[in-house]
Each structure stands twice: as C-alpha cells, then as structure tokens.
C-alpha cells in the first residue's frame, strides 16, 4: 500500500548489509516504475526483459509450495 516505504526499506537493507546489486532486471512496466527511483538513487542500471528464467522458476516453486494457483497460468480465473 505504500511503495515509497517499501523502496526505503530496500535501500536501508542494501546499506545495512553493505551490498548493492550491479543491475536490476524486471519483466513488466509496473516493476520497472517501482524500481526506477531505487536504481537512480543507487546509480545502477535497470533493464526490462521479457523473460527472467530465475524469477520464473522461483515463482513456479512458490505457487506449488503453497498450493496457490498461478494467476497468469490459471485460465479458470475469470470474472462472472
């Protein structure tokens, strides 16, 4: 509900852990807009890619582990 607060938590975590990613990759415009300010503040590249294999594998495992149908793959998830 508060993307700015979440972004500040990301930045604080990077600073506390003394880490900084060399690059952030996203696969949709919403994620790009969310990460844009972070990347500008950290002076790191932000790139949008159609497919991010590691993220897709992680999502698949998450949905399977918790028994939640993946909304992108669930064609029965329609409004009536």
- Which of 5, 42, 2, 4 has the alpha carbon at shortest distance from 20? 42
Strand-pairing partners, residue 24, are 46
Q: In this model, does residue 78 exceed pLDDT 50?
A: no
What six digits make up the tokens of 6? Answer: 């979440």
Kindly report, residue by residue over 30-52, the tens digit of the pLDDT: 989 988 988 998 889 999 988 88
* Mean pLDDT over the full length of the chain: 81
Q: What is the pTM of this model?
A: 0.60
């Amino acid at each position: 509900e508060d993307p700015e607060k979440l972004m500040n938590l990301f930045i604080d975590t990077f600073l506390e852990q003394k880490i900084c990613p060399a690059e952030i990759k996203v696969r949709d415009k919403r994620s790009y807009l969310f990460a844009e300010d972070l990347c500008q503040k950290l002076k790191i590249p932000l790139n949008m890619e159609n497919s991010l294999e590691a993220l897709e594998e992680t999502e698949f495992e998450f949905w399977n582990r918790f028994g939640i149908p993946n909304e992108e793959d669930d064609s029965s998830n329609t409004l009536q």
